Amino acid sequence: MPTQARQRRSAPQAPPGQGAADGDKTADGRPAADKTASPKPARRPAGKGRAASRASSESDGQLRAFYRDMLLIRRFEERAARAYTEALVGGYCHLNLGEEAAVVGLMAALKPTDYLFTNYREHGYALMRGIGPNRVMAELYGRADGVSKGWGGSMHMFDVTHRLLGGYGIVGGQLPLATGAALAIDYRDGDEVVMCTMGDGTTAIGAFHESLNIAALWNLPIVYVIINNGLGMGTTVAKSSAEPDLYKRGAAYRMESARVDGFDPVAVRDATAKAVEAARHGRPYLLEVVTERLRGHSVVDPAKYRTAEEVERLKHEDPIQLFGAKLTADGVLDQESIAAIEQEVAEIVAAAADFAAKSPHPAVSTLFDYTYATPVANDSRRLPGQPLFDPEPLPETATAATQATATQPTATQTTAPGAHA
């Protein structure tokens, strides 16, 4: 049900099938995985370095900035993991390790006015949306200066100013919400776009299909992004998705889709820019970013389900090393500049941890401040153990009797609560 306004802004709709066909190539033009192949993990073809592409128009400064941002996420996440093992961070803690190029590329294609909904693996996204590392780390520490004031923790970062409208801890929960945000933009005839990221495992959940269907029906300005790191906790894509080429799921909704190499920030940025542009014209888009999760599902997961070959392979699969090596070979970076970036990032992360440690814990007196946005009569503000009603004073005779014969009820005691008077 497109609104008139959306139709006006929209480019002519692609005829049925064309959008899906668009997905048959990866964003950098390489053919996608063979359709008839048995379900194998979506891995980049051997020998084609994920950090290999370099857009000729890309300035050295931009490339260095990408590298710096990737390294910031890496060092931030490593520091978060350390803080977790030191019990400074509680709950669950899911890291973006291995996904740095994907995060940096995706966020580089959004305008500050665009919205992001993401899942519980979101520290890097928060940083790249422009939220200060201090506030992100303080949220992990559960402190009052945290981005969600200590109410959300690792999985639930939110910042209106930077239009990060939530990390969400329930798999798939963010998809209908993001779709609704896009609906609100459309309703107001706005020019913003919503990006909604998710893991590969999310494509099996009902909310994924309901959301994509609704977005396509109503021509909503939204880009759905699948971060395919090959594993939903310990379950492979092949074991959880009957169509392991996840981007192809867009075809069921006549939604344009594509797959991109998630180790290459430039390729991701370019593929995302194309997707965002389509969405801005009322054509929702599904983008699959193929990447790796270098560690366990969360900090505490040793990932023992991985085979020895997989573990060995991952030793050579580090987007930062690959991108750094490529930029070094291209003369964009050298040892000195890499060391300078390391130094800068280390200082930022150390300062963030320091800030978080010094930030105050939220006051217990604020416990009931965020149940309702509109104050309401009879809102319960009781701590555990407090009675619903202040007990009325017992008659003196009853009190005396209770004290005298605590274990042996007397006639006085049984009849004493005649508080009707």
Partner 1 sequence: MTIMTYRQALHDTLRAEMLRDDSVFLMGEEIGVFEGSYKITAGLLKEFGPKRVRDTPIAEEGFAGAAIGAAMLGLRPVVEMMTINFSMLALDQIINHAAKIYGMFGGQASVPLVIRTPGGGGQQLGATHSQNIELFYAFVPGMKVVAPSSPADAKALLLAAIRDNDPVLFLENLALYNTKGEVPDTDDPSTGTPAEIGKAAVTRPGHDLTLIGYSRMAHVAAEVAARLAESDGLDIEVVDLRSLRPLDRETIVESVKKTHAAVVLEDDWLTYGIGAEVAASISDGAFDYLDAPVRRVAMAEVPMPYAKPLETAALPSRDDVINAIRQTLAAVGHRATPLAQGVPHS
Contacting residues toward partner 1, per CB under 8 A: 1, 3, 117, 146, 148-152, 156, 158-160, 165-166, 168, 170, 172-173, 175-185, 187, 206-207, 210-211, 213-214, 217, 369-374, 376-380, 387-389, 392, 415, 417-421
Please list the helix, strand and coil fractions of the chain in percent, rounded to the nearest 5, in that order.
Answer: 40, 10, 50
The nearer residue to partner 1, 350 or 419, going by C-beta atoms, is 419
Q: How far apart are CA 290 and CA 140, in angstroms?
A: 27
Minimum CB separation from partner 1 for residue 248, in Å? 21
The CA–CA distances, whole Å, from 105 to 185, 258, 263, 266 equal: 24, 15, 9, 6
Torsion from C-alpha of 176, 182, 188, 189, nearest 10 degrees = -150
Q: How far apart are CA 16 and CA 6, in angstroms?
A: 19
Minimum CB separation from partner 1 for residue 214, in Å? 5
Minimum CB separation from partner 1 for residue 162, in Å? 11
Q: Of 257, 252, 258, 169, which is closest to residue 210 (Cα–Cα)? A: 252
The nearer residue to partner 1, 178 or 294, going by C-beta atoms, is 178
The nearer residue to partner 1, 186 or 245, going by C-beta atoms, is 186
Minimum CB separation from partner 1 for residue 232, in Å? 17
267, 260 in Cβ contact below 8 A? yes
Minimum CB separation from partner 1 for residue 418, in Å? 3
Quick count: other Cβ atoms within 10 Å of Cβ 132? 18
178, 196 in Cβ contact below 8 A? yes
The nearer residue to partner 1, 49 or 169, going by C-beta atoms, is 169
Q: How far apart are CA 328 and CA 164, in angstroms?
A: 33
The nearer residue to partner 1, 12 or 393, going by C-beta atoms, is 393
The nearer residue to partner 1, 170 or 350, going by C-beta atoms, is 170
Minimum CB separation from partner 1 for residue 415, in Å? 5
